Amino acid sequence: MMKNNALIGLPILAALWFLITVICGGIAYENYNHMSQFISELGATETYTGAFINYIGFIPTQLIILLFIIICAHKLPRSSLNTVGLLLLCVYTFSLTIAAIFPCDYECRPQTPSTSHMIHIASAIPAYLSGAMAIFILSKGLKKWAPSKAFEKLGYAISILILICFFSLDDS
């Protein structure tokens, strides 16, 4: 019973932890605009919020997701779709953890990027792409064991929305 509750509770906890991190970070970061600035800017080098956002916000979020993945690996039916989907979620989790350990430079748009910034970008890009693919693949696998098609369709919609947002980013 505990693991079933964790399958529902852990993603909700991760989402809330992340949301609270971003909201509080945005409040503490002077003149931060959630619509025009990268979330990574909240944890960037030389910011007041940087270390707190990365080590108390972003990394714990990924640890919660990792715990969810571990439980899913034991609870979900064995299938190639579930295995690939969970592995892609691991890529997402580890990549965003690396991005938090190696923050982007101040304002995330440096003329001469530091090594930390380059590692941050190199890990963040595959993170979001693998996360969207994981949701899509896991949603496809749902039709074999989930009683409702609603979660499958929701997963498809979320993964497509993530990709649209990702490819709509303006890094200038």
pLDDT digits 0-9 by tens, 100-159: 999 999 988 899 999 999 999 999 999 999 999 999 999 888 777 777 778 888 889 999
The answer to whether residue 8 scores a pLDDT higher than 90 is: no
pTM: 0.87
Q: Where do runs of H (alpha helix) occur along the chain?
A: 2-28, 50-52, 59-75, 80-101, 115-142, 150-168
Query: Who has greater pLDDT, 34 or 169?
Result: 34
pLDDT digits 0-9 by tens, 28-49: 998 998 888 889 999 999 998 8
**Residue 149: exposure state from Cβ atoms within 10 A (0-12, 13-18, ≥19):** exposed
Can you tell me the distance from the alpha carbon of 108 to that of 43, in angstroms, rounded to the nearest whole number?
10
Query: Using CA of residue 100, residue 128, residue 69, residue 152, what is the dihedral sign?
Result: positive
pLDDT digits 0-9 by tens, 37-82: 889 999 999 998 899 999 999 999 999 999 999 999 998 889 999 9
pLDDT of residue 112: 95
Can you tell me the distance from the alpha carbon of 144 to that of 151, in angstroms, rounded to the nearest whole number?
12
- Determine how many CB atoms are found less than 10 A away from the CB of residue 28: 14
The answer to whether residue 1 scores a pLDDT higher than 60 is: no
- Determine how many CB atoms are found less than 10 A away from the CB of residue 41: 23
Which residue is listed with tokens 């690996």? 73
Residue 70 in contact with residue 128, Cβ under 8 Å?
Answer: no
Can you tell me the distance from the alpha carbon of 129 to that of 52, in angstroms, rounded to the nearest whole number?
26
